[in-house]
């Protein structure tokens, strides 16, 4: 078994264990479970970095060179962003929603097929910028999705007057709503830059080879419209809470559909 295979399996296993530990904390509570879940995720991040290092130095796969490399980097950024920013206001419990997303994206990176190198006529200054800002934007949206999902769960428990158990471990509705707004506000400009640079690239390629808009690009546009509508409705119509959470979740799902479109095209 090669070193890169070992690091991949180890990383996936550690992310899976962190999923179980975070979910156990969400359901049962207890300080010990969340401490161990955070430690296991930290170990997964270290193994993840080792996997990327092997991929780069052994197989000469450049960072963000294709959809599989992009997924590997995206999942790592989501995990790092979670551990770096979710330790206040009882936000560690959101690991129950973040860890599965990270695991699924990392497993998607392992579906590497026979992807040819990026042609020279496709490489440009805009391409790495386009990929990098999209990755950063989607990472912010992933955290916003977790906050939105937690908001809907918390609101449902509050309506049922179930103010024990899971309710006591989730952040307050105001905290989750404010967090979702901040994360979408960070991710939307990055995603917008990605959409603009991608549009320039598509227009340039269309003139030379008649390239058409793919399903992934279409889903990305729909995701951008959802996130833009959420921010506009918050500012103009005073949207808060449930409607904003649902719009955020739909936007993230379409962003993931865009990633899935590129992934399926690669396979």
Is 70 exceeded by the pLDDT of residue 165?
no
Q: What is the pLDDT of residue 114?
A: 45
Q: Where are the domains of the chain?
A: 1-115, 118-267
Please write the tens of the pLDDT for every residue from 86-127. Answer: 766 567 888 889 999 999 999 988 876 544 455 555 555 667
Report how far Cα 120 is from the mean position of its chain's Cα atoms. 29
Residue range 173-230, pLDDT digits in tens: 898 999 999 999 999 999 999 888 887 766 666 555 555 567 778 899 999 999 999 9
Burial of 117 (0-12, 13-18, 19+ CB in 10 A): exposed
Enumerate long-range contacts of 163-170, CB under 8 Å, 24 or more apart.
Answer: 165/27, 165/29, 166/26, 166/27, 168/29, 169/25, 169/26, 169/29, 169/90, 169/93, 170/90, 170/93
Start-to-end Cα distance in the chain: 23
User: 47 and 11 in contact (C-beta within 8 Å)?
Assistant: yes
Residues in the chain: 267
Residue 235 reports pLDDT greater than 60: yes
Query: How many Cβ atoms from other residues are within 10 Å of residue 204's Cβ?
Result: 15
Q: What pTM value is reported for the model?
A: 0.86
Mean pLDDT across the stretch 232-242? 87
């Amino acid at each position: 078994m090669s070193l890169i295979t070992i690091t991949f399996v180890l990383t996936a296993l550690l992310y899976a264990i962190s999923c179980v530990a975070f979910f156990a904390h969400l359901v049962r509570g207890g300080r010990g479970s969340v401490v161990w879940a955070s430690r296991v995720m930290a170990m997964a991040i270290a193994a993840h970095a080792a996997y990327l290092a092997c991929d780069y130095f052994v197989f000469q796969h450049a960072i963000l060179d294709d959809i599989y490399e992009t997924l590997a980097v995206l999942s790592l950024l989501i995990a790092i962003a979670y551990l770096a920013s979710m330790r206040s206001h009882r936000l560690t419990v959101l690991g129950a929603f973040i860890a599965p997303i990270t695991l699924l994206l990392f497993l998607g990176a392992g579906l590497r097929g026979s992807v040819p190198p990026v042609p020279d006529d496709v490489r440009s200054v805009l391409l790495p910028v386009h990929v990098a800002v999209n990755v950063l934007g989607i990472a912010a949206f992933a955290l916003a999705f977790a906050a939105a999902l937690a908001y809907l769960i918390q609101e449902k428990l509050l309506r049922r007057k179930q103010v024990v158990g899971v309710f006591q471990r989730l952040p307050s509705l105001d905290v989750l709503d404010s967090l979702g707004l901040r994360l979408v506000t960070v991710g939307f400009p990055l995603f917008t830059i990605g959409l603009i640079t991608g549009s320039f690239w598509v227009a340039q390629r269309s003139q030379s080879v008649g390239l058409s808009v793919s399903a992934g690009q279409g889903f990305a546009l729909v995701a951008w419209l959802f996130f833009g509508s959420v921010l506009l409705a918050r500012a103009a119509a005073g949207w808060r809470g449930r409607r904003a959470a649902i719009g955020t979740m739909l936007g993230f799902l379409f962003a993931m559909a865009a990633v899935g479109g590129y992934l399926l095209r690669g396979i």
